[in-house]
Amino acid sequence: YCESGTLSLGDSTFCGAGVGTGYAVFALNGEILDLGGNVFLDDCPNPCDIDLDGTVGGSDLGLMLALWGPTYPNGPGDIDGNSKVDGADLGLLLACWGG
């Protein structure tokens, strides 16, 4: 929620907030400055599908191992969003296997 001011958005992806879904992306009492490159998706991609091929498998595991260590929040392989690719993410990836 933004009480006032201007919210600048660029090169961002918003998912799971399609029209008529009952979900709000954000509440804003001000202006939105569209910097371009924004994408609005009805469905969110599976965070375990690191290579974005539509399934969770060996190539996702390989990418996760290559990305192992510190990263930015929710970066590729950081499934739990704690700014690192680690054993917790590996457990989540294995739980998603085949999906």
DSSP 28: B
Domain that holds residue 26: 6-41
Residue entry with tokens 């979900």: 23
Q: Is there a domain that residue 81 lies in? A: yes
Q: Is there a domain that residue 23 lies in? A: yes
Q: What is the pLDDT of residues 4-21, one digit of tens each?
A: 677 788 887 777 665 555
Q: Is there a domain that residue 49 lies in? A: no
Mean pLDDT of 12-31: 63
Q: What pLDDT does residue 17 have? A: 60
Q: Is there a domain that residue 47 lies in? A: no
Q: Is there a domain that residue 12 lies in? A: yes
Number of domains in the chain: 2
Q: What pLDDT does residue 24 have? A: 52
Report the predicted TM-score, pTM, of the whole model to 2 decimal places: 0.63
Q: Is there a domain that residue 64 lies in? A: yes
Instruction: Read off the pLDDT band of 72 (50, 70, 90).
Output: confident
Q: Is there a domain that residue 77 lies in? A: yes
Q: Is there a domain that residue 28 lies in? A: yes
Q: What is the pLDDT of residues 41-70, one digit of tens each?
A: 777 788 899 998 999 999 999 999 999 999
* Domain identity same for 65 and 91: yes
To 10 degrees, what angle do helices 58-66 and 87-96 make? 170
